Structure 1
Amino acid sequence: MARIAGVNIPTNKRVLIALQYIHGIGQKSAHDIMHKVGLDETRRVNELTDAEVLQIRETIDRDYTVEGDLRRETAVNIKRLMDLACYRGLRHRKGLPVRGQRTHTNARTRKGPAKPIAGKKK
């Protein structure tokens, strides 16, 4: 099992798919990494040599912000908005949608389960 950026990536999947298990690497980034290292798209993780795994690891460390650093950076950005008390920061603080979505109906992911209001019947 290869360990890259602190994540155990699955052994019998293609490298392109397995790299996406790392937080901060999506389809495009995984494709770019494969191209930089010079690997074929159809290669599987268990077929990689130690040198190739090391090359992938070095490429990710050098060119991408992933896992803990990325999560920390995101949290700091949200905290900055909350400290500024700007509109987006207030929405984060209240646990409401931040990007202009409607809240009269929907928005249950951000607001949590519906709370019944006493005495309201239609």
Structure 2
Amino acid sequence: MARIFGIEIPNEKRIEASLPYIYGVGRSTAKRILEQAGVDADIRTGELSEEQLVKIAQVITSEGIIIEGDLRREKQTFMKRLQQINCNRGMRHRRGLPVRGQRTRTNARTRKGKKRTQGVVAKK
């Protein structure tokens, strides 16, 4: 497997499809990186030379694309800031509810987790 910034990307796929394995690089960003590096998008990752891998890494750093740990840390600090100022988005992040206005009466299972039925205690 080829390594870019310590991330292993699959050899058997086209480089255009392999680059999105890096957190913070999507399809359109991968295309832009390959154009600027002068690398053909149809080449398999395993067929790339060391020079081409270095060029790709240089383009990512020169473009200022934030990837992997830095991006995760940045997103985490944004979320912590929202929680500290007690805004609505921060409160919903804290409670594990949908943040962007989705309904929660039904659905929202991805965010809320497995359904837990509330038991009713009968009076004596």
Say whether the fold is shared (TM-score over 0.5). yes
1:74 matched to 2:75: yes
Give runs of aligned pairs for residues 23-38 of structure 1, distance below 5 A. Answer: 23-38=23-38
How many aligned residue pairs are there?
A: 120
Once residues 38 and 104 of structure 2 are traced to their aligned partners in structure 1, the CA distance between those partners, rounded to angstroms, is 48
1:60-110 Cα deviation digits (max 9, x unpaired): 122210000000000000000000100101111111000000000011111
User: What is the CA distance between 1:59 and its match in structure 2?
Assistant: 1.1
Once residues 19 and 13 of structure 1 are traced to their aligned partners in structure 2, the CA distance between those partners, rounded to angstroms, is 10
State the match for 1:107 in structure 2: 108
TM-score by length of 2: 0.92
- The question of whether the paired residues in 2 share the 8 Å contact of 1:11 and 1:44 is answered with yes
Once residues 40 and 6 of structure 1 are traced to their aligned partners in structure 2, the CA distance between those partners, rounded to angstroms, is 22
State the match for 1:96 in structure 2: 97
User: What is the CA distance between 1:116 and its match in structure 2?
Assistant: 1.0
TM-score by length of 1: 0.94
Once residues 91 and 56 of structure 1 are traced to their aligned partners in structure 2, the CA distance between those partners, rounded to angstroms, is 39
Once residues 37 and 71 of structure 2 are traced to their aligned partners in structure 1, the CA distance between those partners, rounded to angstroms, is 23
Q: What stretches of structure 1 move > 3 A for 4+ residues in a row?
A: none
Taking only aligned residues, the RMSD between alpha carbons, in angstroms, comes to: 1.2
- The question of whether the paired residues in 2 share the 8 Å contact of 1:12 and 1:44 is answered with yes
Amino acid at match of 1:50: E
Question: 23-32 or 55-64, which moves further after superposition?
Answer: 55-64
Uncovered stretches (5+) of structure 2, i.e. residues with no partner: none
Amino acid at match of 1:89: G
Uncovered stretches (5+) of structure 1, i.e. residues with no partner: none
1:13 matched to 2:13: yes
Once residues 73 and 6 of structure 1 are traced to their aligned partners in structure 2, the CA distance between those partners, rounded to angstroms, is 19
State the match for 2:48 in structure 1: 48
Once residues 8 and 41 of structure 1 are traced to their aligned partners in structure 2, the CA distance between those partners, rounded to angstroms, is 18
